[in-house]
Amino acid sequence: MIFPYIGAHPTITTDPSERVKYRSIKGTKDILPGDVEAWQHLERTIQEVMQTYQYREIRTPAFESTALFSRSIGELTDIVSKEMYTFIDRSQESLTLRPEGTAAVLRSYIQNSLADTSPLTKLYYIGPMFRQERPQAGRLRQFHQYGAEVIGGQDPILDADIIHLALQVNRALGLHQFSLRVNSVGCERCRPAYRTILTTFLAERTAELSDESKARLELNPLRVLDSKDERDRKATAKAPLMKDHLCAECRTHFEQLQEILRHTGTPFEVDGRLVRGLDYYTKTAFEITSPLLGAQDALAGGGRYDLLIEQLGGKPTPAVGFAAGVERLLIALSKQNSLPGISPGPRLYIVALGDAARQWAFRKALELRNKGYAVEMDFLGRSIKAQMRDANRSQATRVLVVGDNELAQGSFQLKEMASGQETVVSESQIESHLG
């Protein structure tokens, strides 16, 4: 017997929730058939745009040593202090599921001496990231980012290249509603003095601030400006901004970036309050938001991090990059009804009745699949009627009917599902009808 399992129909329960013993972890999601096609479309589009901008893909491990992330992202950030999935493995080493891609890419860049191959390295990545945040629409604990980093140059034209890349992926996906905000967060020369000015300003208004901002006051005062809380907004309405306290080098860099963006016809807004949630930025910081998203409206964020590679043990090397949330892009695209449909059904469905016909159908299906045609058949020993229903459900373009008589005569009925037109064909003619 070639199909011993045929006839073993699974029992379908009427209330599946009663039978589920294990559920996915809060803040994680299955990507099911029907949804995965949109992911594949998005991944293909990203790969195409990256190719046109000449960024090459890099894939790094899902976990790294904890110190890599705490050192790069900053001990005092929300990510490192509250959100990392950190664990001690069986060798007593502290490991962390990557909360973002940049640190790992730089670790790999240094470890594999990528600088030796080219003075400018342009890399991109797509993959899962992990942060233990409070799950809500557009905020997950396992989410996906695609991102890009250009390592080795400090010219603001590279900041513009990275920004254009992020915008171009949105456009290539057919997304219409998004906007770009840029800022400069200064450098190690101008930021300390500004920080003192800002701290003095905030100290006089402590009572008016939200509890979260009060807690941030001493350790991370710049983030108070970024708060969405109305009390903080009001209290800091007249706060001094970093962009007005930049050193000459940072100011020139920021002005040149704006000039390039204007020259290349990119609408943007300068937002002096934009402060990113990661500590490694110097000079440029930017975010792309979309009104199609709810409270979590950041589609992408990034900026320049000229000191980070040296901090991680590499040679002093300037760099700039960004990352975007894949789930958020998909939410925005679905709000616009711009997601692609599900993948097409088989070109041919072989309806077979009887053991000999099933053996023939299986061999024929393999032969045609190996030539590149999508072919499906029945694997559950169903009646002809049920097989026809299944062919319909799977959106097959054509159906070939095979029984003992057809095999004996060597002629088969081929039905075009859209028109209902039926043709009698010999075995050797089947392929030429698949179009």
Binding site for ligand HAM (CB under 6 A): 100-102, 131, 133, 138-140, 143, 145, 147, 149, 277-278, 298-303, 321-325, 327-328
The β-bridge relationship of strands 298-304 and 411-416 is unpaired
Task: Report the residue number, 279 or 390, with the smaller CB distance to ligand HAM.
Answer: 279
Structure tokens at 403: 């029984």
CB of 148 vs ligand HAM, minimal distance in Å: 8
Chain position whose Cβ is nearest to ligand HAM: 325
Task: Report the residue number, 317 or 387, with the smaller CB distance to ligand HAM.
Answer: 317
At residue 121, φ and ψ (nearest 5 deg) are -115, 125
CB of 111 vs ligand HAM, minimal distance in Å: 18
Rounded to whole angstroms, what are the CA distances from 155 to 18, 98, 162? 60, 29, 12
CB of 116 vs ligand HAM, minimal distance in Å: 22
- What's the one-letter identity of residue 88? I
How far apart, in whole angstroms, are the C-alpha atoms of residue 148 and residue 220? 27
- Angle at 368 (CA atoms; ends 366, 370), nearest 5 degrees: 65
Phi-psi region of 17 (alpha: psi -120 to 50; beta: other; left: phi over 0): alpha
Task: Report the residue number, 100 or 378, with the smaller CB distance to ligand HAM.
Answer: 100
CB of 109 vs ligand HAM, minimal distance in Å: 12
Rounded to whole angstroms, what are the CA distances from 120 to 82, 115, 116, 128, 152? 35, 7, 10, 26, 5
Q: How many CB atoms lie within 10 A of CB 414?
A: 18
CB of 190 vs ligand HAM, minimal distance in Å: 20
How far apart, in whole angstroms, are the C-alpha atoms of residue 128 and residue 156? 29
Task: Report the residue number, 156 or 301, with the smaller CB distance to ligand HAM.
Answer: 301
Q: Are 277 and 227 in contact (CB under 8 A)?
A: no
3-state secondary structure of 147: strand
CB of 97 vs ligand HAM, minimal distance in Å: 13
Q: Are 299 and 178 in contact (CB under 8 A)?
A: yes
Task: Report the residue number, 271 or 378, with the smaller CB distance to ligand HAM.
Answer: 271
Residue holding tokens 């293909």?
Answer: 44
The DSSP 8-state label assigned to residue 242 in this structure reads: G
Q: Identify any residues that bridge with 87 across adjacent strands, giving them in sequence order.
A: 95
Task: Report the residue number, 129 or 430, with the smaller CB distance to ligand HAM.
Answer: 129
CB of 159 vs ligand HAM, minimal distance in Å: 11
Task: Report the residue number, 277 or 403, with the smaller CB distance to ligand HAM.
Answer: 277
Task: Report the residue number, 209 or 329, with the smaller CB distance to ligand HAM.
Answer: 329
Task: Report the residue number, 268 or 373, with the smaller CB distance to ligand HAM.
Answer: 268
CB of 125 vs ligand HAM, minimal distance in Å: 10
CB of 399 vs ligand HAM, minimal distance in Å: 43
User: Which candidate, 144, 145, 162, places its Cα nearest to that of 153?
Assistant: 162
